[in-house]
Structure 1
Amino acid sequence: MAEQRTPRSLIVTFYGTYGRGPGTGPLPVSALIRLLGAVGVDAPAVRSAVSRLKRRGFLVAEGGLYTLSESARVTLEDGDRRIYERPLLKDDGEWLLAVFSVPEQERGKRHLLRSRLARLGFGQASPGVWIAPSHVYEETRHTLVRLGLTSYVELFRGTHEGFTATADAVASWWDLDAVAAMHRVFLAGQEPVLRRWAAADAQPTPEEAYRDYLLAVDAWRQLPYADPGLPSSLLPEDWPGVRAAEVFAALHTRLRARGAEFVVPAP
């Protein structure tokens, strides 16, 4: 299985990694063409993706320059916590339950609620009952408040008391094989990159660091949402998520700051 990248995904990743930093205000399309060209996206594909992102409300145009919409900025800030600040997991047996009921005439909100719970890492225990490790409580509460969905949901914390063994129940709440496969795809693509720059005398140019870091983030950023962050006692012994997180953290440390020099060249 190969890593899937699209021009639209890479533009979103650019704004998430470098597009909100010092010196990166509203950008002309020509700047985005240069920055996306470094990761293999040609000019027509950049223009097309920018147009789609504008129609979707992710980007807004200001006198020929493009910047993030306020809703996109909030979404990316929320993503920072999930992508870069994974919490220390506690094997305390405590779970967070989201129990919801949405009237049939508001089925659009039901779909939104389900999709956001899934994106937060919840698994479905039964219809209308979703479950996640308790460490996602604050993020879940923040997301439901921001989306105006709190009137449809109640949140509970508690332990699993039976009747199926918790490890067996977890395997029915999440497709762990699919999540593990995603981690292995990430490792297949990014471990060689880390080996290349881990050598003592390896020093990437700003463009090389930018290219490899942007591609690493684009490959990584869906994983913290797909992976529920279960304690190790409930995961297979050969779980690849631990190594995937280590590789991403190492690439972040080695490449991010150096790559910023390509985004905003020194005067």
Structure 2
Amino acid sequence: MLSLDKQLLFLVSSAGGIEVKRLVEIYEAREVDHQVVRNALLRLKKDGYLRSSERSKYEITEQGLDFITAINQKSLLLGRAWDGQWLTVMFEVPESERKKRDALRGDLLQLGFGALHKGVYISPWDYADEVIRFAKQYEIEERLTIMRGVFVTRQPQPDLVKRLWPIDELNHVYRAKIEWYRTAFASTVTPLLRDPADGLALFVRFLELGELLANLSLNDPMLPAELLDEDWLGKSSFEEMQQGLSQLAEAIPADSPYRTFVHRFTQA
């Protein structure tokens, strides 16, 4: 799913329903053409993530909420204690159903699974319910086996972890993004915090940072500390930018029409 699509789902779910003209206004401030926004909304509706009960207004569906919930849950894994057990997902889907197989594989990788062998994926976190939901969605649940336990041999060590997940590459990404956040991004936000006006400019920056965090969350398996090197920047960088996101949300005036989109990130 495209970044714009995911963000639109977030906005619609936050508002409980929203008119197209409001979304167009927001994304024109981000220099996104209105037709791109309209096309994305139609695509999400066609795929079952949104519904339109009245003309030019969208609401999120149960399928859309499930997707948003899955994305939001990954960041909650930061710092969570690990019980040392692994979830193992095994499946064998014939070539005639390749699209379903590829879709499930993509979902597993997005959740943070690593490919141990062909058709065998592992995760330190218990995503059994999500995996079963995906399998039912693609009608391949009978081709799926899920187990949870410990490794008797080949307990994943740092070298194997780095083969299964692009840890070093992700660390470089985090290093670059936190540097951008502390310099280029901060320089644009500081004057807005002093004079938030109607909140639109702050909200645009909120969306920009939120989009970055969402993409990082989708690419980062959020592995427990036991499986990571001491120089891992993911947890500290992600948490610092999350705090910045909350700061932006709090700075949007209470009477701003954009405040409703950020209430999850505010104290009030």
| TM-score category of the 2 structures, normalised to the smaller one | 0.7 to 0.9
CA deviations 1:183-218 (Å, max 9, x no partner) are 33432433334577689x846442232111111111
Q: For the residues of structure 2 that align with 1:48 and 1:142, how far apart are their CA atoms?
A: 27
Residue matched to 2:204: 211
Q: Give the counterpart of 1:107 among 94, 98, 104.
A: 98
Q: Distance in 2 between matches of 1:60 and 1:163?
A: 47
Runs of 4+ in structure 1 over 6 Å off:
none
- Alpha carbons of 1:47 and 1:113: their partners in 2 closer, same or farther (altered >3 Å)? closer
Residue 58 of structure 2 aligns to a residue whose secondary structure is strand
When residues 140 and 51 of structure 1 are mapped into structure 2, their CA distance, relative to the original with a 3 A threshold, is: closer
Cα drift, residue 219 of structure 1: 1.0
Aligned residue type for 1:131? I
Partner of residue 263, structure 1: 258
If the length of structure 1 is used for normalisation, what is the TM-score?
Answer: 0.77
In the other structure, the counterpart of 1:3 is none
The answer as to whether partners of 1:89 and 1:229 remain within 8 angstroms in 2 is no
Once the 2 structures are TM-superposed, how far is the Cα of residue 264 of structure 1 from its aligned partner? 6.0
Q: With CA pairs under 8 Å and 6+ residues apart, which has the higher RCO, 1 or 2?
A: 1
Secondary structure of 1:249's aligned partner: helix
Aligned residue runs from structure 1 range 3-152, under 5 A: 9-10=3-4, 12-16=6-10, 18-22=11-15, 25-28=17-20, 30-68=21-59, 70=61, 71-83=63-75, 85-86=76-77, 88-145=79-136, 147-152=138-143
Structure 2 segments unaligned to the other structure (5+ residues):
261-268
Question: 1:96, 1:134 within 8 Å by CA — same for their partners in 2?
Answer: yes
Q: Is the aligned partner of 1:171 residue 2:162? A: yes
Structure 1: state its 5+ residue gaps: 1-5
Task: Return the offset for 1:144.
Answer: 3.9
Q: Is the 8 A contact 1:197 1:203 kept in 2?
A: no
Determine which of 234, 241, 251 is the counterpart of 1:248.
Answer: 241
Give the corresponding residue for 2:263: none
**Offset of 1:230 from its aligned partner?**
1.6
Contact 2:49 2:64 survives alignment (8 Å): yes
Structure 2: distance between partners of 1:145 and 1:228: 23
Mapped partners of 1:233, 1:264: distance in 2: 39
CA separation of 1:256/1:63 partners in 2, compared to 1, >3 Å: closer, same or farther? same
Could you tell me which residue of structure 2 aligns to residue 189 of structure 1?
180
Q: Aligned equivalents of 1:111 and 1:66: distance in 2?
A: 33
**What is the SS of the residue equivalent to 2:127?**
helix
Q: Which moved more, 1:68-77 or 1:222-231?
A: 68-77
Percent identical residues: 24
CA RMSD of aligned residues (A): 3.3
CA distance in 2, matches of 1:198, 1:246: 19
Query: CA offsets per residue over residues 4-45 of structure 1, 9 Å max, x none?
Result: xx9x633531431x32234x52413x3222111222223344
Quote how far apart the aligned CAs of 1:127 are.
1.0
